[in-house]
Amino acid sequence: MAKTVKAQMPGTFYRRPDPDSDFYVEEGGSVSAGDTVGLIEVMKSFHEVKAEEDGTVSKFLVEHEDAVDAGQDLLELE
């Protein structure tokens, strides 16, 4: 099974730090453990979602600005 990065908490998922910035990472892009791959907004604050392992993002499983549940897979890593 592919490795995934999961949402720690429920909220709204964002792929970039603010509307004027590029996405943290694109499909096909590589990440290192500890890299921020998105944000989750809940209770009026934003929380960084970090990769726990090195890898290449093979696929995002949710869209920018989607509502996500805690424990939901956000993206696949190869």
Partner 1 sequence: MAIRVKSPGLLTTVQDTGRFGEYAIGMPPSGAMDVFSYQVGNYLVGNEDGSAGLEITYFGPELEFTESAVIAVTGAEMPPKINGEEAPTWETLSVEEGDVLSFDYLRNGARSYLAVAGGIDVPVFMHSRSTYTLIGLGGYEGRALQAGDELQLGDARNGDARNGDAQVGKKVDADAIPRYTKETELRVIIGLASYRLTQESMKEFLNVEWTVTPDADRVGYRYRGGELGFVEREQPAGAGSDPANVVDFGYPIGSIQVPGGVEPIVLMNDAVTGGGYATIGTVISADRDRLAQSKTNDKTRFRSIELEEALAARGDRRKTLAEIKDSLA
Determine contact, residues 52/32, Cβ cutoff 8 Å.
Answer: no
- By C-alpha distance, which of 78, 60, 66, 71 is closest to 24? 60
Name the token pair of 25.
């990472």
Region from 17-25, 26-34, 38-46, 54-62 binding partner 1, contact rule CB under 8 A:
38-46
Of 16, 17, 23, 41, which one interacts with partner 1 (CB under 8 A)? 41
Nearer to partner 1, 8 or 58 (CB): 8
Name the token pair of 27.
């499909």
Residues that bind partner 1 (CB under 8 A): 6, 8-12, 41-44, 47, 67, 69-71
